[in-house]
């Protein structure tokens, strides 16, 4: 049951020290080395208070199986992806719990070429090995070699823009005491803009706020500072720096959909026609913008493991998600908050108008944002499946229905997506309409149907 509680669709994650601890990570190190059957694994960790000791325990498990370790030290998830793509390590692992509260920790794993392990590939096998815990110590332990890659990473990020094309923008960046600050601290001296740092120092106590920009209370400091500093824009970075959210000069946060549309438009203008991916929850302005700029739009399911895979198949230039993940072909098809931020700064410099005016051009549709509904009195998977199937039956007269990710129901002037949470007994609703009146009317109808089925808004 303990192993069941920490293995999830995209990663390993749980509360320290009750759900996972140093013993857990030693066993995971053994299981990882055994399953991957490689000669070397690169390992890094984030700033969480438990990360250094879990890092040591994981490495101890790996080398006990005769596998060498490249110690990358304190890094972000985006830097871990870069290390995988740049240096071609057989596998990479990073100890991180992303944006979760301080008591959490976790593990993300990729194989050569930034291929993530997930619930359909790799993680079930590692879980089985960990449960069996039948490891013998190798007669020859693996070696540990330290490697500092931060400067190489900074050089890589700067290849995505022409720094001399940036205008003298004032930018407030809130790293939330997570891992994003280590990159931007280096970039301050290399860019002709004024960066106003907020909470750049990594600190696992997260003393100011949690590094989760999806929750509005965690972006309030940034919004206030943008207005106080008369800044041109702001950026909020999540805990392991693989997600970014943009805030305009008035303190209004851009949705992941609008940021995806802006970046897609600019990259197509810059590099020419190419496939662009976006997930099933992004709004209609994304395919509209891709088509308007000569790109081929491809809608895909939510989740970095799937998007990385589909990007490689399509050789896509860029991909965006509503959740603030932005992926780049020239970044080994991986997501990066820093690269997305730099490209956005170059775009805004070129536009030469306030960000609020730029964003208004893309803000054509009205959106509900993501609303979570708790599914009552039923098991997580069965309850969610019943709710989603019942909603599909209620709206079978729709113009079209698809199941790219959960349920998407399309009408001429509105649409919605309903999908199950991978980790909780919840369904997630996203709705978009051509006007606020239509949105309010249809949201009331769908919410009423969900309530009848026993799914109630998670306040």
Residues with catalytic roles: 98
Please write down the HEC assignment for all residues of 318-360.
EEECCCCCEEEHHHCCEECHHHHHHHHHHHHHHHCCCHHHHHH
SS3 label, residue 190 = helix
CB-based contact 171:196 (threshold 8 Å) = yes
Token code pair at residue 215? 């929750």
Measuring CA to CA, how many Å separate 276 from each of 177, 301, 315, 418?
32, 14, 9, 23
H or E segment to which residue 223 belongs: helix 220-229
Largest Cα span, the chain: 70
The structure tokens 């997501």 sit at 335
- 273-311 burial code (b ≥16 CB/10 A, e <16): ebbbbbbbbbbbbbbbbbeebebbbbbbbbbbbbbbbbb
Alpha-carbon distance of 70 to 47, in angstroms, equals 18
CB-based contact 123:117 (threshold 8 Å) = yes
């Amino acid at each position: 049951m303990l192993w069941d509680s920490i293995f999830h669709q995209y990663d390993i994650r749980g509360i320290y020290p009750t759900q996972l601890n140093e013993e857990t990570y030693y066993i995971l190190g053994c299981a990882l080395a055994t399953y991957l059957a490689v000669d070397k694994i690169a390992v890094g960790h984030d700033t969480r208070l438990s990360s250094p000791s879990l890092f040591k325990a994981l490495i101890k498990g790996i080398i006990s199986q005769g596998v060498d370790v490249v110690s990358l030290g304190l890094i972000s998830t985006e830097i871990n992806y870069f290390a995988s793509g740049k240096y071609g390590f057989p596998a990479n692992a990073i100890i991180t719990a992303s944006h979760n509260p301080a008591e959490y920790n976790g593990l993300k794993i990729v194989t050569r070429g930034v291929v993530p392990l997930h619930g359909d590939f790799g993680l079930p096998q590692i879980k089985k090995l960990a449960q069996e815990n039948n490891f013998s110590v190798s007669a020859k332990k693996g070696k540990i070699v330290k490697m500092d890659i931060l400067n190489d990473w900074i050089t890589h990020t700067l290849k995505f823009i022409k720094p001399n094309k940036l205008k003298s923008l004032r930018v407030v960046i809130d790293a939330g005491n997570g891992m994003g600050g280590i990159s931007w601290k280096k970039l301050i001296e290399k860019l002709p803009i004024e960066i106003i740092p907020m909470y750049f120092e990594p600190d696992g106590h997260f003393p100011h706020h949690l590094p989760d920009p999806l929750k509005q209370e965690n972006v309030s400091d940034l919004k206030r500072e943008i207005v106080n500093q008369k800044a041109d824009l702001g950026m909020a970075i999540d805990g392991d720096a693989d997600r970014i959210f943009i805030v305009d000069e008035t303190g209004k946060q851009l949705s992941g959909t609008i940021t995806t549309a802006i970046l897609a438009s600019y990259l197509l203008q810059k590099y020419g026609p190419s496939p662009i991916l976006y997930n099933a929850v992004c709004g209609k302005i994304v395919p509209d913008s891709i088509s308007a700029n000569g790109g081929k739009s491809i809608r895909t399911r939510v989740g970095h493991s799937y998007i990385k895979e589909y990007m490689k198949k399509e050789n896509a230039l860029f991909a965006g998600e509503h959740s603030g993940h932005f992926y780049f072909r020239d970044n080994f098809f991986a997501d990066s908050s820093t690269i997305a931020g730099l490209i956005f700064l170059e775009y805004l410099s070129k536009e030469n108008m306030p960000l609020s005016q730029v964003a208004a051009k893309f803000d054509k549709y009205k959106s509900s944002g993501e609303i979570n509904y708790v599914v009552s009195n039923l098991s997580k998977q069965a309850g969610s499946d019943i709710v989603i199937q019942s909603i599909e039956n209620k709206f079978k007269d729709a113009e079209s229905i698809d199941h790219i990710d959960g349920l998407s129901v399309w009408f001429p002037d509105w649409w919605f997506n309903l999908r199950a949470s991978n980790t909780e007994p919840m369904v997630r609703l996203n709705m978009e309409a051509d006007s606020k009146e239509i949105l309010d009317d249809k949201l009331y109808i769908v919410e009423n149907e969900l309530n009848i089925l026993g799914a109630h808004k998670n306040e």
